[in-house]
Amino acid sequence: MHDALGIEMEQAGDGVVKGRLPVSDRVRQPFGLVHGGALLTLAESLSSFGTYEGVKDDGKLALGQEINASLMRPITSGHVNGTATVRRRGRTAWVWEVEITDDAGRLCALIRATIAVRDAPA
């Protein structure tokens, strides 16, 4: 999915993961706005990556479990920027808050993602 959308991971550490995706016709809906699904994909990718980085050394996997979004402002050009901040590191699930902004730094969406933590297959 990263390659299909052009998602770029920019920073990860201390419970924060940042990344972005370029706005192109691949992620625009017919009216020229970035599709909400692309925003959610970026948010889940950031939070899944952050969770995996936190649990992989324990032989665990990170799997998307639940996601919801409040879409507030459209993005039509530039980049979709995401900053995921972990809010809870549980034994079986991590909860993240993801802020989506445009290149002007305006808040465009708030997304909450729950990422399941499971044992990796043998």
Residues classed as catalytic: 44
CATH code of the domain occupying 2-119: 3.10.129.10
Average pLDDT value for the chain: 96
The secondary structure of residue 35, as a DSSP letter, is P
Contacts for 96 with CB less than 8 Å, ≥ 6 apart: 43, 46, 47, 50, 51, 84, 85, 86, 87, 112, 113, 114, 115
Question: Cα–Cα–Cα angle for 18, 69, 80, nearest 5°?
Answer: 40
What are the boundaries of each domain within the chain?
2-119
pTM across the whole model: 0.95
pLDDT tens for residues 84-101? 999 999 999 999 999 999
